[in-house]
Structure 1
Amino acid sequence: MSSSPVLSYSIPQRLIHWLMAGLIFFNLIFTEGMEELTEAAEEGQTPSADMIASANIHAYVGIGILCLAVLRLILRLTHGAPEAPADEPPVVRLVGKIVHGTFYLLFLVMPAAGIAAYYFGIGTAGELHAGPMKLLMWVLIVLHVGAVLVHQFVWKTPVIQRMTKG
Structure 2
Amino acid sequence: MASNSVTSYSILQRALHWLMAALIFFNLIFSDGMEHWNRLMRRGETITPDDVSSANIHAYVGIAILLLCLVRLVVRLVQGAPEAPSEEPALMKLGAKIAHWTLYALFILMPVTGIAKYYFGNDTLGELHGGPLKVLLWALIVAHILGALVHQFYWKTNVLARMTRGV
Same fold flag (TM > 0.5): yes
Give CA-to-partner distance per residue, 1:48-96, whole Å, 9 cap, x none.
Answer: 2221111000000000000000000000100000000012100000000
2:117 and 2:43 map into 1 onto residues whose CA distance is: 17
2:4 and 2:68 map into 1 onto residues whose CA distance is: 27
Identify the residue that residue 42 of structure 1 maps to in structure 2: 42
Identify the residue that residue 80 of structure 2 maps to in structure 1: 80
Identify the residue that residue 13 of structure 2 maps to in structure 1: 13
Structure 1 unaligned segments of length 5 or more: list them. none
C-alpha displacement at 1:3, in angstroms?
8.3
Identify the residue that residue 123 of structure 1 maps to in structure 2: 123
For 1:40, the aligned partner's letter is L
Identify the residue that residue 62 of structure 2 maps to in structure 1: 62
Alpha carbons 2:87, 2:155 under 8 Å: kept: no
For 1:138, the aligned partner's letter is W
Identify the residue that residue 143 of structure 1 maps to in structure 2: 143
SS in 2 for 1:83: coil
C-alpha displacement at 1:5, in angstroms?
1.1
For 1:157, the aligned partner's letter is T
1:2 and 1:38 map into 2 onto residues whose CA distance is: 44
SS in 2 for 1:156: coil
For 2:44, the aligned partner's letter is G
2:84 and 2:126 map into 1 onto residues whose CA distance is: 35
Identify the residue that residue 163 of structure 2 maps to in structure 1: 163
Residue 104 and residue 5 in structure 1: after superposition, are their counterparts in 2 closer, same or farther (change >3 A)? same
1:112 and 1:165 map into 2 onto residues whose CA distance is: 32
Determine what percentage of the aligned residue pairs are the same residue. 58
For 1:21, the aligned partner's letter is A
2:8 and 2:155 map into 1 onto residues whose CA distance is: 18
SS in 2 for 1:160: helix
Greater Cα offset, 42-51 or 85-94: 42-51
Q: Between Structure 1 and Structure 2, how many residues are aligned?
A: 166
